[in-house]
């Protein structure tokens, strides 16, 4: 078996494991002040996760390409002020945005099912997620595409391959914007 076959099989296994762990039903219960219990059904069992309030900001990445998702995960892992959530498709990303209400979202533009624009439209129509800055990430560098995405309501637009410093700076700008325009979350 060649090295490329091994890498492909490893990525396929990772994707299958991630798909198997996608929540089937999402719920939220409050038992005590300041304590949330997130309830979700995984394919084989029910899980309960207690979430404590945190000073770390939350970034949601919606990316169907596992290699691209892992690059962002490695970059964000260097920062102790950020917590990264990853969704492998727009449907899961929209559900996670509603549930976790992240401070900013990185959105791949080309995904199966709903593309980035369609997902943004759904997020903007919901008052729970309408305020979240969404950064579009795409390999499409055509000026008209960038202008259309910004006009549709994306906070910023980054082309792949992106410069690490540029992406990190845009994430910081989006987080500052989020804190200034939605301060109730941090009171």
Beta bridge partners of 105: 60, 134
SS3 state of residue 136: strand
Return the pLDDT at 11: 62
**pLDDT by residue (tens digit) across 47-87?**
333 344 456 899 999 998 999 999 999 999 998 899 999 99
What is the C-alpha separation between 9 and 32, in angstroms, rounded? 45
**pLDDT by residue (tens digit) across 25-40?**
344 433 444 434 343 3
DSSP string, 45-73: -EEEEEE---SSEEEEEE-S-HHHHHHHH
**CATH of the domain spanning 55-186:** 3.40.50.2300
Return the pLDDT at 53: 46
Q: Please list, in sequence order, all residues whose beta carbon lies within 8 angstroms of the beta carbon of residue 184, skipping any fewer than 6 positions away.
A: none
What is the average pLDDT score of the chain? 78
**pLDDT by residue (tens digit) across 95-114?**
999 999 999 999 999 998 89
Return the pLDDT at 100: 93
* Residue boundaries of the structural domains of the chain: 1-53, 55-186
pLDDT for residue 19 is more than 90? no
Peptide bond into 161 cis (omega under 30): yes
Q: Give the confidence band of 92 by pLDDT, cuts at 50, 70, 90.
A: very high
Q: How many CB atoms lie within 10 A of CB 95?
A: 16
**More reliable by pLDDT, 186 or 49:** 186
pLDDT for residue 156 is more than 80? yes
Burial class (CB in 10 A: 0-12, 13-18, 19+), 127: exposed
What is the C-alpha separation between 13 and 66, in angstroms, rounded? 11
């Amino acid at each position: 078996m060649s090295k490329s076959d091994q890498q492909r099989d490893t990525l396929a296994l990772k994707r299958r494991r991630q798909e198997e762990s996608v929540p089937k039903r999402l719920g939220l219960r409050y038992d005590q002040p300041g304590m949330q219990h997130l309830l979700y059904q995984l394919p084989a069992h029910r899980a309960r996760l207690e979430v404590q309030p945190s000073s770390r900001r939350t970034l949601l990445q919606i990316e169907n390409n596992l290699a691209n998702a892992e690059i962002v995960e490695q970059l964000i892992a260097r920062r102790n002020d950020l917590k990264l959530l990853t969704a492998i498709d727009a449907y899961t990303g929209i559900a996670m945005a509603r549930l976790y209400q992240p401070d900013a979202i990185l959105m791949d533009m080309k995904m199966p099912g709903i593309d980035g624009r369609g997902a943004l439209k759904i997020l903007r129509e919901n008052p729970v997620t309408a305020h979240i800055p969404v950064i579009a990430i795409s390999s499409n560098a055509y000026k008209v595409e960038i202008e259309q995405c910004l006009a549709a309501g994306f906070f910023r637009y980054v082309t792949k391959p992106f410069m690490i410093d540029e992406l990190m700076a845009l994430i910081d700008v989006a987080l500052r914007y989020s804190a200034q325009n939605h301060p109730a979350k941090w009171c």
